[in-house]
Amino acid sequence: MMQDLIAAAEAAADAAGAVIRPLFRSSLLVEAKGDASPVTEADRAAERTIRALLAERFPDHGVIGEEYGEERAGAEFVWVVDPIDGTRAFVTGRPVFGTLIGLMRHGRPVLGLIDQPATGERWIGAAGEGLRFRSPMGGTPHTRRCAALAEAELSCTSHEMFTPAEAPRFARLKQSCRRVTWGGDCYAYGLLALGLVDIVVESDLKPWDWVALAPVVEAAGGAMTDWQGQPLRLDGPGQVIAVGDPALLPEAVALLG
């Protein structure tokens, strides 16, 4: 069954990419949602396309999406979709956004896909299987060993995502790492799964921001938890630690605690 699920996720990503690519670096009508993040016709059309394909193949499955909300969220299998993660990057022409398609079974992520439709890169992680990676630019799908945070490459989308209470905790971690690179959204987690980034720490992530990422990170040999080192939850605060080398996790948790 897992192969059927993976095939459906890939087909949905292919269909979404066909919607997104013609609009990338074109003139788009950008609106403001309630949280002031940009929304384009590409977001909405891509999510509609993904939902339609998944509903056709698995009519009993649920879905949670950024643009169109929940359907059958209490089902055994629930797809979690972000049609364009990193919309700000998308509307400014930077190819570090991605389409995220994740699948939860009984509330636990079991399948994740990151697709970068502009560059042709795709990461697929599934429970019980190794990481699948496709790219015309190369890259090795495996995390790297990192002995300590002092040697680690840290990535974070933006310092603005942290609350006043979280900011000094992140600052402690940042000062303990080799350096920090800002920006990247889901793409940073893909780079972690290629052994190019060692740790990603973020906050205020919604389920559609992280459900697809966890299986990819874990399939590559890494780990992904909340700031207390506990499994991520749909009702959690969205605080995320992703590490390429799980040995980094206790040190990171201690600094963020």
98, 186 Cβ separation under 8 angstroms: yes
Q: How far is CA 178 from the centre of its chain?
A: 23
Is 209 annotated in some ligand binding site? yes
User: For 145-236, where are the E strands, in sequence order?
Assistant: 153-156, 179-182, 199-202, 223-225
154, 171 Cβ separation under 8 angstroms: no
Close Cβ partners of 157 (under 8 Å, ≥ 6 residues apart): 86, 182, 183, 184, 185, 188, 202
Bridge partners, residue 179, by sequence: 153
Run of H or E residues at 242:
strand 240-243
Is 82 annotated in some ligand binding site? yes
Is 20 annotated in some ligand binding site? no
Residues in the annotated binding site for Mg(2+): 66, 82, 84-85, 209
Q: What residue numbers does the annotated binding site cover?
A: 66, 82, 84-85, 209
